[in-house]
Amino acid sequence: MTAPSEVGLDLGKGKGKGEAGLVAGSAAALTARGVCKKFGKVEVLKGIDLDVGAGEVVCLIGASGSGKTTLLRCLNQLETIDSGVVTIDGVPLGQRKGSDGTLRPSKPKEVAEMRKDIGFVFQRFNLWPQKTALENVALSPVLVRGVGKAEAEVRARGLLTRVGLADRMDAYPAKLSGGQQQRVAIARALAMQPKIMLFDEPTSALEPETVGEVLAVMRELAAEGMTMICVTHEMGFAREVADRVVMMDAGVVLEQGDPKTFFANPKEERTRRFLARVLDTGFGGPAAPGAPAGPTG
């Protein structure tokens, strides 16, 4: 299967690239301040600060267990945070401004409302097995956004075409390759017209030959201005597509920077060791004995 050359999602936002931090002139689409999360006694996130500008692509990297998935799940309110604040377009997640201006905890309905603005693409697709590709993409807008069935189907057909699956719309997930399933999952997330897309290692469960087609769709999305946070081990993708690379280590943001500077000159020893493992560049010497062989990007 060849990668779709033209995803053409027409998100209507251009952007400049290449600077560390927020894309010049853009407002923060998402901010995290002092985000902490414990599971039992284990502190998994230890005060995360992160700003993501509108239209910015942030690649989140770091060793297994450093807290990347937990951070994404907290940003999407799949987990509640213990302390700190996350805002989407300036509105704090899980809190709501009362008429007197004070903040109070959101009701579950309000949480669900805000979650609609955040698309989440999981490592393992999470498609409904009993629904066709088309139904997988068309269903949520009907159930959650109140879109009419006919309109949702037209949009779903458009999205599936754009991710290169025009000829597979009626297939059930079990009849699709991993790469195709993941493209359905991306189309499904986009069908909700999210403000931000979160990707949690979207290619790590794929056969190597289908990784490229999923990265191609993500690359198109990025080029068309989608705000994205991507947890990835695809360092080639991060280098080429990210505006900023953020390295997590043991529940903190260890360092971050524009990809060129970040990969050429990582400041922290732990970053160098991590990159040495995943890139085999020789940063920081050979991988530690017993270290898992990282996928190359």
Ligand X SMILES: Nc1ncnc2c1ncn2[C@@H]1O[C@H](COP(=O)(O)OP(=O)(O)OP(=O)(O)O)[C@@H](O)[C@H]1O
Can you give the binding site for ligand X, defined by CB under 6 A?
A: 39, 44, 62, 64-70
The one segment of 62-70, 185-193, 202-210, 253-261 that binds Mg ion by CB under 5 A: 62-70
Q: According to the binding rule CB under 5 A, does residue 227 interact with Mg ion?
A: no
- β pairing state of 83-88 and 91-92: antiparallel
* Residue 44 touches which of ligand X, Mg ion, none (Cβ within 5-8 Å per kind): ligand X
Rounded Cα distance between 73 and 76, Å, is 5
**C-beta atoms surrounding 259 within 10 Å:** 22
The one segment of 21-29, 68-76, 262-270, 280-288 that binds Mg ion by CB under 5 A: 68-76
**C-beta atoms surrounding 265 within 10 Å:** 10
Q: According to the binding rule CB under 5 A, does residue 69 interact with Mg ion?
A: yes
**C-beta atoms surrounding 238 within 10 Å:** 23
The one segment of 52-60, 66-74, 239-247, 251-259 that binds Mg ion by CB under 5 A: 66-74
Chain-centre distance for alpha carbon 268: 24
Q: Nearer to ligand X by C-beta: 81 or 169?
A: 81
Rounded Cα distance between 255 and 195, Å, is 26
* Residue 259 touches which of Mg ion, ligand X, none (Cβ within 5-8 Å per kind): none
Q: How far is the CB of 77 from Mg ion (least distance, A)?
A: 17
Q: Nearer to Mg ion by C-beta: 7 or 125?
A: 125
Instruction: Tell me the backbone φ, ψ of residue 172, rounded to 5 degrees.
Output: -85, 155
Q: How far is the CB of 67 from ligand X (least distance, A)?
A: 4
The one segment of 63-71, 177-185, 254-262, 280-288 that binds Mg ion by CB under 5 A: 63-71
Closest by CA to 233, choosing from 76, 3, 69, 73, is 69
Q: Nearer to ligand X by C-beta: 68 or 273?
A: 68
Q: How far is the CB of 279 from Mg ion (least distance, A)?
A: 19
Helix axes 149-162, 178-191, angle to 10 degrees: 130
Closest by CA to 259, choosing from 274, 237, 277, 238, is 238
User: What is each CA distance from 46 to 38, 81, 89, 98, 260, in whole angstroms?
Assistant: 9, 11, 23, 29, 27
* Residue 21 touches which of Mg ion, ligand X, none (Cβ within 5-8 Å per kind): none
Do 196 and 225 meet the contact criterion of CB atoms below 8 Å apart? no
Binding mask 136-155 for Mg ion (x = CB under 5 A): --------------------
Q: Nearer to Mg ion by C-beta: 152 or 278?
A: 278
Q: How far is the CB of 200 from Mg ion (least distance, A)?
A: 6
Q: How far is the CB of 163 from Mg ion (least distance, A)?
A: 23
Q: Nearer to ligand X by C-beta: 132 or 271?
A: 271
Do 142 and 149 meet the contact criterion of CB atoms below 8 Å apart? yes
* Residue 2 touches which of ligand X, Mg ion, none (Cβ within 5-8 Å per kind): none
Binding residues vs Mg ion (CB under 5 A): 68-69
